[in-house]
Amino acid sequence: MESKIARAIKLQLEPVAVVWSDEMPQGALHFKGVGAGCIMNLFAQAAKGKVAALGRENFGCPGGGVGLGFGSIYDHFPMGGREAFRYFLSTGVEGRREDIAEKARAFGGKELSENMLKGEGIRKTPELVEQFLKELPVMDIPAKYVVFKPLSQVGGDEQPKVIVFIVNPDQLSALVTLSGFGRTGIDNVIIPQGAAGCHLIGIYPFREAQSDRQRAVVGLTDLTARRNLRNLLGMDVLTFAVPFELFREMESNVEESFLSRSLWKSLIEEKS
């Protein structure tokens, strides 16, 4: 499958198709188990031409399991379940829950232990983390695997759930504009907070795909994901995740939109 959008905005990396499957593609990149590993690294490899697959037994970190739609994995967060995660994302457990602190020290990894003790500071209090978890669109998808593959390798009857573009600021501006080209209303794109970069290419656009009025989701705003992908993707990119139905709508509008006009072409030429 090819993308008119990718050509028009001169995308440097392949759009990534996010596919639900009950089988792991032969030769797909994957983790060997649950625990360590950021799925955004495998996502980046898909943008570079590889195929990757994550399942219920090999989704990497807990955030990845939630982001891919494998249920409420934070309830099983290492070192103390949901309670420990609330402290991990906020204030830490030092001086509060010494039992969790001991588990953090035993679990391993200097950075992980430090983050558990001091907290990541993503939310001000554990109570605000709990509210965030209640609002997160946690779901249990009806598939064994979530597959990342280059859009060019999608064919036949295969229908992705989401298409993800990796874009610079000019390309992001183009996609935001194109998303509203043939529509009424101005809320065609959202930037929700996610504790993992995968939330914004997984469960958030999965939720949008179920909506009567689908919206695109801007992502790669998670600080850990940005650090992990800096060497693979660069420092000046974000993701733009589009439910497949909206992707097809946007594709159909490329020729008659601003993407064929002089303003956009002059902007692209300046970047070349």
- Distance from C-alpha of 52 to C-alpha of 214, rounded to nearest angstrom: 26
CB 200 within 8 A of CB 192: yes
Checking 7-11 for CB contacts under 8 A at 24+ apart, the result is 8/174, 8/254, 8/259, 8/260, 8/264, 9/165, 9/167, 9/170, 9/171, 9/174, 9/175, 9/259, 9/268, 10/171, 10/268, 10/271, 10/272, 11/165, 11/166, 11/167, 11/171
Q: Which of 7-16, 55-64, 69-78, 108-117 has the lowest mean pLDDT?
A: 108-117
The pLDDT of residue 48 is 96
Q: Would you say residue 272 has pLDDT above 60?
A: no
Q: How far apart are CA 117 and CA 229, in angstroms?
A: 25
pLDDT of residue 208: 98
Residues paired with residue 53 on neighbouring β-strands, in sequence order: 147
Confidence of residue 58 (pLDDT cuts 50, 70, 90): confident
Is there a contact between 57 and 65 (Cβ–Cβ < 8 Å)?
Answer: no
Pairwise CA distance, residues 217 & 260, whole Å: 24
- How far is the C-alpha of 219 from the C-alpha of 191, rounded, in Å? 7
* Range 20-31 average pLDDT: 93
**Tokens coding 88:** 């991990």
Residue pLDDT, tens place only, 182-235: 999 999 999 998 877 899 999 999 999 999 999 999 999 999 899 989 999 999
pTM: 0.93
Q: Residue range 6-19: average pLDDT? A: 97
- pLDDT band, very low/low/confident/very high, at 112 (cuts 50, 70, 90): confident
Please check the confidence at residue 97 and state whether its pLDDT lies above 90: no
Q: What is the pLDDT of residue 233?
A: 94
108: alpha, beta or left, given left = phi > 0 and alpha = psi -120 to 50? left
Rounded mean pLDDT of 48-69? Answer: 91
How far is 213 from 182, CA to CA, in rounded Å? Answer: 13
More confident residue, 107 or 265: 265
**Residue the block writes with tokens 């529509």:** 183
**Mean pLDDT value across residues 59-77:** 90
The mean predicted confidence, pLDDT, of the chain is 92
